[in-house]
Structure 1
Amino acid sequence: MDQLVTINEKPNLADLTPKKNSLEFKDVSYEESNLKNFTSELDGELGSLGVSVATLTDVEVLLAQLVEDMDTAVYKGEEIYCFRGFHRKLRVYWRLLNHTMNELNKEYERVDEIKDGLFTKVVKASKENQ
């Protein structure tokens, strides 16, 4: 049958090198992961901000065109005939502007939170490195 053979070996301590604590390794990868998440969120939120800014630019152009149309109607004395159309456009533009501004404020607050988180992580990391 099989016999268990014991060998008396003494470990060679000279070949051993100190290892990083596994918790330290997890902390570093956790911080890197956290920074990656922050930058990914920041990228997404900045994209949303860009869309809101583009929408506001479009509203600005549409309002400028409406003002020109209203000025033309006043010049021709036809403002009374154009009132309903102008009123409808103004109502739609106002709602679009209001909605976009609310979204823009939310996006700005989220970007500000991400910035604070990034700042805290970077400052914490720089203090640990010193």
Structure 2
Amino acid sequence: MNHLADLPGPDVRARLETERNVWLSTVRPDGSTHVTPVWFVYADAKWWIGADHRSVKVRNVQAEPRVSLALEDGRFPVVAEGDVSLIHDGFPTEVVTAFKEKYEWDLTSPARPGDRSVLLEVRVRRWLLAGTAQ
């Protein structure tokens, strides 16, 4: 798995490895935005986000797969715009392992009976770093 090779600068790479939350912005059916902090892993030039299959973010990306992601520190912005694919089963082993290592969270184990996890795979279309679109 090639971690972070596509990004400029060691500071961005370090932040994607260590920061715990990213703000995920999705589009609701009425066109308004839904913004929520989520846990993430960045690997193989993609953002990976685990979610319950019934969540608002999952319903939103099923209808409109374009999203924006922003790390929490607004002084040194790291923002990505991308497109989501939903993975319902057969999660990549490397991603499951990365979530366990980063958060001590087993992405494959539902939090409540009847829940089912899905994985949002976000392919980046554009990076916005420190005010510069790339």
TM-score band w.r.t. shorter chain: under 0.3
Normalising by structure 1, we get a TM-score of 0.21
Normalising by the residue count of structure 2, what TM-score does the alignment of the two structures yield? 0.20
Structure number with higher relative contact order (C-alpha < 8 Å, ≥ 6 residues apart):
1
Structure with more of its chain in helix, by fraction? 1
More strand by proportion, 1 or 2?
A: 2
